[in-house]
Amino acid sequence: MTSTTSNTVLSPRERRKAIVAAAAGNFSEWYDFSVYGVVAAVIAVNFFPAKDQFVALLSTYIIFALTYITRPLGGLLTGWIADTYGRRPALALTIAVMTVATAAVGVLPSYAAIGVAAPILLLSCRLLQGLGAGGEYGSAISFLYEHSAPERRARTISYLVSSTFLGVLAGVGFASLLSAIIGNTAFAEWGWRVLFIIALPIGLIGMYIRKHVQETPEFIALRKADELAKVKPSPVRDSFRSHKATMVVFILAIGIYPLITTTITSYFTTFLVRTVKIAPSEAYTITLITDVALILAALGTGMIVDKIGMYRTLLSGALLVAVLGVPIFLIASGGHSASILAGVILGVCGGILAVPAALAVSQMFPPTVRVTAGSFSYNITVILFGATGPLLGVALTGQSGNVYAYGIYLSTIALVSAGAIFLGRSRIRRVDGIDAHSSIPPESLVNVKR
C-alpha cells in the first residue's frame, strides 16, 4: 500500500479545533444530564398530575432512566454512519439530535395545558436525546483518537473526559445562578425552561465548529485504500460476528467507570443529604468539589497513561476503588469536613479511571468497526453498571442501614472490573500504547492527501 505526498500532521491550531469540536457535543450531553437532575422536582410539578408529588417525582426519574433504552440503538446507528461514511457526519448528527431534543423540553406545554400529552412529549424528547447521546461519546473519542499523535493520545483524550464534568458543572452552576437572580418562584414557573433552551445556542456553536474540522487521517486513509468501498460486512454485523469476545472484555473491564461516574453525579449528593444529614446546598458544593477533583485527576492521568499505558492505569484504578470503596463512605459519614475529603478521594479515583476507560472505547477495536463496537459496548456498560448505581445505592443503604453498604457494592464491581482487566489483558495489552488494529501503515496515516 503506497502513501501519498501531502503532509497531514495537524497544526497546533487545527489540533485545538479538533479537541473543541469533539468536546462540544460531550459538554452538551452532560449539561443536559445535569440540568435534568437539578430541575427534576420542577419537571415533576409541570408534567405530571399534582395529586401525589412523590409519584410525580418518581415518574420524572423513570423517564430519565428510560433515556438509556435508546442509547445502544443510537450507538449502533451512529457507529454505522461513522464507520461507513466518516467520523464527521456522525458527529454532526449526534450534536444536532441532542440539541433539538434538549431545547425542545424547554418549550413543551405543561400537564395543566395539554394533559397526558405533556409527559408523552417529554418522554419522546428524552428518548430522542438518548438516541443522539448513544453515539456521541464513541464518535467523539474516535474522532479525537484518530486526530492525535500516538504519544499524546491519552493526554488529548483527557481533555474530552474533562468536558464531561465541565458540562455537569455548567448545568449546576447555571441553575444556581439563574435561581439566585430571578428567585425560586420565578425559577419554578418559567426559569427552569431557560436552562434547556440555552442548549440551542450551545449546540449551534458546536455544530458550526464541527462543520469546519477535517475528517480523521485514518478514516481518509482507509477510504483511499478502497477498504471501505469493497463488498464487506456492515460495521454492525462485523462487530458482533468478529469482535464479540473483545466487546465482553470491554464491558466488564470498564464497568467500574460508569458506576463511579453516576456515583459522583447522582448518588453521592443523595447520600450526603439523606444519610449524613448535610444541608442540600452544602451537599451540592461538596459534589462540585468532587467534580473538580475528577477533572484535575483526569488531566494528570492523561500524561501518565501516555507513559505507562492503558492496561496498567486501568488495572491500578480499579484496584484503588476496590480498596477505597468502603473507606470513602465511612469517611463521608463523619460530617461536612470529612465529606469534602471523601469527595476528593472519590473524584481522584474517577479521574484515574476516566482516561484509560475512554481510551479503550477506540483503542480496543479496529478502525472499520471502531465507533460501532465501541459505542454499543460503552452504552451497554452504562446501562448495566451506571444507570443502576443510584437506585441500588438508595436500596442498599435503606435496607441495611449501613453507611458503607454502597461502598461494598462499589468495591465489588471494582473487583469484577479488575478481574476482567487481568483475565482479558492479552486483548488490552496488544493495543496498549499503539494502534495495533490499524490496517494502514503508519506512514500513510501522516502522509495521505486530503
Model pLDDT for residues 266-308, shown as the tens digit of each residue: 788 878 887 889 888 788 889 889 999 999 999 999 999 999 9
Euclidean distance between CA atoms 28 and 22, whole angstroms: 11
* Helical H segments across 106-147, by residue range: 111-114, 117-147
H-type helices in 263-363, by residue range? 268-274, 280-308, 310-332, 336-363
Task: Residue 47: name the closest of 61, 67, 35 by CA.
Answer: 61
Cα separation, 316 vs 323, in Å, equals: 11
- What nine digits make up the cell of 268? 453521592
Other beta carbons within 10 Å of 403: 18
Q: What is the pLDDT of residue 140?
A: 94
Quick one: cell of 324? Answer: 477505597
Q: Is-contact 111 47, C-beta < 8 A?
A: yes
To 10 degrees, what angle do helices 12-38 and 117-147 make?
Answer: 160
Of the candidates 418, 285, 301, 404, the residue with the CA atom closest to the CA atom of residue 349: 301
HSE of 45, CA atoms in CB hemisphere, 13 A: 9
pLDDT tens digits, residue range 66-92? 888 899 999 999 999 999 999 999 999
What mean pLDDT is predicted for residues 373-384?
A: 94
pLDDT in tens, 174-184: 888 898 899 88
Q: DSSP readout, 179-244?
A: HHHH-HHHIIIIIHHHHHHTHHHHHHHHHHHHHTSPPPHHHHHHHHTTTTTSS---HHHHHHHH-H
Q: Does residue 32 carry a pLDDT above 70?
A: yes
Mean pLDDT of the chain: 86
Asked if 357 and 261 touch (Cβ cutoff 8 Å), the reply is no
Residue 330 backbone dihedrals phi, psi, to 5 degrees: -65, -40
pLDDT of residue 116: 87
The amino acid sitting at 150 is P
For the chain, domains (ranges, CATH) are 12-446 (1.20.1250.20)
Residues in contact with 204: Cβ distance below 8 Å, sequence separation at least 6, in sequence order:
99
Widest Cα–Cα separation across the chain: 71
Higher pLDDT, 304 or 15: 304
Which of 316, 106, 134, 272 shows the shortest CA–CA distance to 193? 106
Geometric angle at alpha carbon 111, from 108 and 116, rounded to 5°: 100
Q: Which three cell numbers stand for residue 442?
A: 503508519
Classified as helix, coil or strand, 15 is: helix
Q: Are 235 and 372 in contact (CB under 8 A)?
A: yes
Looking at residue 127, its pLDDT comes to 92
Average pLDDT over residues 372-397: 86
Tell me the percentage of the chain whose pLDDT exceeds 70: 90
- Per-residue pLDDT of 397-450, as tens digits, reads 777 778 788 899 999 999 999 999 999 988 887 665 544 444 444 444 444 333
Q: Cα separation of 60 and 62, whole Å?
A: 5
- 4-8, 96-100, 352-356, 393-397: segment of lowest average pLDDT: 4-8
Q: Output the pLDDT for position 229.
A: 56
**Contact criterion met (CB below 8 Å) for 254 and 357:** yes
pLDDT digits (tens, 9 = 90+) for 119-135: 899 999 999 999 999 99
What's the pTM? 0.86
Q: How confident is the model at residue 95 (pLDDT cuts 50, 70, 90)?
A: very high
Question: Mean pLDDT over residues 170-199, rounded?
Answer: 90
Mean pLDDT of 372-401: 84
222 contacts 142 by C-beta, under 8 angstroms: no
Burial annotation 215-240 (CB, 10 A radius, 16+ → b, else e): bbbbbbbbebbeebeeeeeebbebbe
User: pLDDT band for position 220 (50/70/90)?
Assistant: confident
Cα 12 to Cα 308: distance, rounded to the nearest angstrom: 25
CA distance 205 to 212: 11
